[in-house]
Copies of this chain bind each other. A is one copy, B any other.
Amino acid sequence: MGRPYFFYLWFNPLMEKALSPFFQPKGVVVIGASASPEKLGYGVARNLIESGYTGTVHFVGQKSGELFGYPLYTNLQDVPDPVDLAILIVPTQATPQSIEDCAKRGIKAAIIVSAGFREIGAEGAALEQQCVEVARAHDVRLLGPNCIGTIDTHLPLNTTFLQPPMPAPGHIGFISHSGAFAAAIIDWARGQGFGFSRIASLGNQADVNETDVLPMLAKDDATKVITMYMESVSDGRRFIQAASEISKNKPIIALKVGRFEAGQKAAASHTGALAASDTAFNAAFEKAGVLRAETAEQMFDWARALENCPLPKGSRVGILTNAGGPGVIAADSLEHHGLVLTQLSDSTLKHLSATLPSAANIHNPVDMLASASPEQYAACLKILLQDKNVDSVIVILPPPPMFKAEEVAKAVNEVIGHWDKPVVVTLMGSTLVEEAVKTFASSKVVTYPFPERAASALAALVRREKFLDRRPPTEGQAVSGHRSAVGLSPDELIASYGIPTAPIKLARNEDEAVAIADKLGYPIVMKIASPDILHKSNVGGVLMNIQDAASLRNSHAQLMERINKLIPPPRIDGVHIQRQINEGQEVIVGMVRDPQFGPLMMFGSGGVEVEGLKDVAFCLGTLNQAEAESMMRKTWAGKKLKGFRSIPPVDEGAVRDVLVRLSRLAAEHEEIEEIEINPLCVLAKGALAVDVRIKFKGA
């Protein structure tokens, strides 16, 4: 599975070693173990024993004696070797001392189950900070506080207090920012019949966060898919780096919540206004190859498919059904999820025709009719899988009127195992398909109650395949410009990165304006130059199509009159004079620096209507040509560059180049918070930045 983990920049072997006791302890001590069943300290002790953990188990409690047949110590220092993980269920106030005790006993990893820290306010936050300081001082790593701990179903290990039984062993890893959500999902999964490999509940993340835990699932052989319930990210760039490396080998699916909290921040540019905080997360997940699920159900629907199915070579799907209606639903869903209802090959049609009654529909979706026998299901599925036009199959099985669903399941199961193409099953119903659900599950065939969910899962497999298939980014040219923006105008700065600008000159008065215009050539655009006016066109501060010197003088007078009427009166530096470009296409190119993820690039339809049309796409980080290209293709503005009806084609390559260069500029100038070129005028050959706006940090 690729390179050894110590190659990764975001992780090092020392850290790996420090965190390993959370999932692979040699010995565990429960501090605050209790014999009273209503206490959390009882639940943790019970689960640790019942989980079948084969390391050593120790209990520390208030009274000495025995618990579940093990000695109960009153002093941690009396606990014998081996012990390298502590589970703390002690009063909030006593936690810092308890961490110190752990360090004294040589325990360098602690799960703090107790709540009452940062989540309850300032006092709790101070106590949490104290825990962190004690831990740092003694090289102790903390999981929590306010968490439910870790589970490894294969080791096995259960450090939680959750109601037994443990989740069934499976191959889905699960990291959760919410303990309650994790508890609910564990119980729900039980009803759905799927299991987990490793689970980590992170709580307040005083120390260990989601990116720290990721490698513990990534390097676990039992974990085939990683699922994440995320409410935030602790260090955006480190997360992207880690997830990007891991997702090369294992799929990661994230359910990121908390959109409603983002609110609307004040933005200095269109780019800033259009980039909701969620946009950055979308871009981050895309960059890192993380599949973003919209709902919890969807996350685990996808995870089950990724756990159990081979990846399809393409997006062409065959549908096999014994009834028209569900087949139509499935076909609709394919389109909705960007998959293709494949055209079956002639040879497939011939074979299907020989296998099925004449009333059957042998074209995709293949409807075998209600009379379809287990043998017909199996034979037709085999025929579909043999077709080179078929990359994957959805088998649909409503309660068959003339056979038992489980008989069909058995027959279908035998076919699926022999093919390296994914087959997902839609098993519709409840009591009539109960046995069939179990039959499929026993062969690791994934089933969904409705065709829509089966199609969504297949689409996730296709996205995963496409991600893996993505060629390594072509290295961009080594673009670089002025490392210091001090004293440079926006135009000069971007020009230093090789982005051509339409020369723009400041004229302090009418005569200077005329002199500059005569030199640049007409027609001319004149814009008010004022540090107080950001959106010039809003105040009528832009005059266009000025054809000669006389009109220019006239326009200058008009402009000044208009601006001087504004209340409060803005400071006026003069006017900016620029040659007007009346050809080509206008687009917007921008950057806004996300506090978590860094530079977020934007491309789209420009002009004053950019916020209304919302025809924009985003991408995170320093772009290569392929990423720039992909952003452009997502928008109408980008597609239009190739020409459309009467609109002639323009220089796409020049736009890609500007995007790449601007992203390099953003990477090298941390002091810039937002940049926007609007419009970037794209010509038959080349592109010109006509209006450039830069917002510096703190400005």
User: How far is the CB of A537 from the nearest CB of chain B, in Å?
Assistant: 4
Task: Judge whether A229 is part of the interface by a CB distance below 8 angstroms.
Answer: yes
Stoichiometry, copies per complex: 2
Please state if A190 and B260 are interface contacts (CB–CB under 8 Å). no
Please state if B613 and A187 are interface contacts (CB–CB under 8 Å). no
Please state if A645 and B432 are interface contacts (CB–CB under 8 Å). no
Q: Mark A292-336, 1 if CB is under 8 A from B, else 0.
A: 001111000000000000000000000000111110110110110
Please state if A257 and B324 are interface contacts (CB–CB under 8 Å). no
Q: How many residues of A contact B (CB 8 A)?
A: 85
Q: Mark A501-540, 1 if CB is under 8 A from B, else 0.
A: 0000000000000000000000000000000000101101
User: How far is the CB of A193 from the nearest CB of chain B, in Å?
Assistant: 10
> Interface stretch among A114-122, A489-497, A622-630, A685-693?
A114-122
Contact (A645, B399) CB under 8 Å given A180-B323, A231-B325: no
Contact (A324, B178) CB under 8 Å given A260-B331, A331-B260, A358-B120: yes
Contact (A260, B325) CB under 8 Å given A296-B452, A645-B608: no
A683 CA to B255 CA, complexed, in Å:
48
Please state if A636 and B608 are interface contacts (CB–CB under 8 Å). no
Contact (A646, B608) CB under 8 Å given A231-B325, A332-B260: yes
Hey, which chain B residues are within 8 Å of A615, CB to CB?
A: 613
Task: Judge whether A179 is part of the interface by a CB distance below 8 angstroms.
Answer: yes
Of the listed residues A322, A335, A399, A639, the one surrounded by the most CB atoms of chain B closer than 10 A to its CB is A399
Task: Judge whether A609 is part of the interface by a CB distance below 8 angstroms.
Answer: yes
Hey, which chain B residues are within 8 Å of A260, CB to CB?
A: 328, 331-332, 334-335, 341
Contact (A180, B359) CB under 8 Å given A115-B370, A613-B636: no
User: How far is the CB of A176 from the nearest CB of chain B, in Å?
Assistant: 7
User: How far is the CB of A319 from the nearest CB of chain B, in Å?
Assistant: 10
Please state if A326 and B187 are interface contacts (CB–CB under 8 Å). no
Q: Mark A102-125, 1 if CB is under 8 A from B, else 0.
A: 000000000000011001110010
A38 CA to B540 CA, complexed, in Å:
82
A334-360 contacts to B, CB under 8 A, are 334-335, 341, 358-359
A258 CA to B181 CA, complexed, in Å:
37
Contact (A295, B452) CB under 8 Å given A325-B180, A325-B231, A398-B184: yes
Contact (A323, B179) CB under 8 Å given A258-B328, A335-B259: yes
Hey, which chain B residues are within 8 Å of A185, CB to CB?
A: 428
Please state if A450 and B296 are interface contacts (CB–CB under 8 Å). yes
User: How far is the CB of A181 from the nearest CB of chain B, in Å?
Assistant: 4
Please state if A359 and B119 are interface contacts (CB–CB under 8 Å). yes
Please state if B258 and A188 are interface contacts (CB–CB under 8 Å). no
Task: Judge whether A410 is part of the interface by a CB distance below 8 angstroms.
Answer: no
User: How far is the CB of A603 from the nearest CB of chain B, in Å?
Assistant: 15
Of chain B, the residue at the smallest CB distance from A430 is: B191
Hey, which chain B residues are within 8 Å of A537, CB to CB?
A: 645-646
- Other-chain contact of A639, B116, B430, B612 (Cβ < 8 Å): B612
User: How far is the CB of A290 from the nearest CB of chain B, in Å?
Assistant: 18
Task: Judge whether A93 is part of the interface by a CB distance below 8 angstroms.
Answer: no
Contact (A187, B535) CB under 8 Å given A323-B178, A608-B647: no
User: How far is the CB of A47 from the nearest CB of chain B, in Å?
Assistant: 13
Task: Judge whether A411 is part of the interface by a CB distance below 8 angstroms.
Answer: no
Please state if B359 and A430 are interface contacts (CB–CB under 8 Å). no
Task: Judge whether A132 is part of the interface by a CB distance below 8 angstroms.
Answer: no
A116 CA to B185 CA, complexed, in Å:
47
Contact (A323, B181) CB under 8 Å given A328-B258, A449-B188, A450-B297: yes
Task: Judge whether A640 is part of the interface by a CB distance below 8 angstroms.
Answer: yes
User: How far is the CB of A325 from the nearest CB of chain B, in Å?
Assistant: 2
- Other-chain contact of A429, B184, B328, B535 (Cβ < 8 Å): B184
Please state if A431 and B401 are interface contacts (CB–CB under 8 Å). no
- Other-chain contact of A184, B295, B326, B335 (Cβ < 8 Å): B326
A-B CB contact pairs (8 Å), 23 listed: A121-B359, A178-B324, A179-B323, A179-B325, A179-B370, A180-B326, A181-B326, A181-B329, A188-B430, A189-B430, A190-B430, A257-B332, A260-B341, A261-B331, A295-B450, A296-B450, A538-B645, A538-B646, A605-B613, A608-B647, A609-B636, A609-B644, A613-B636
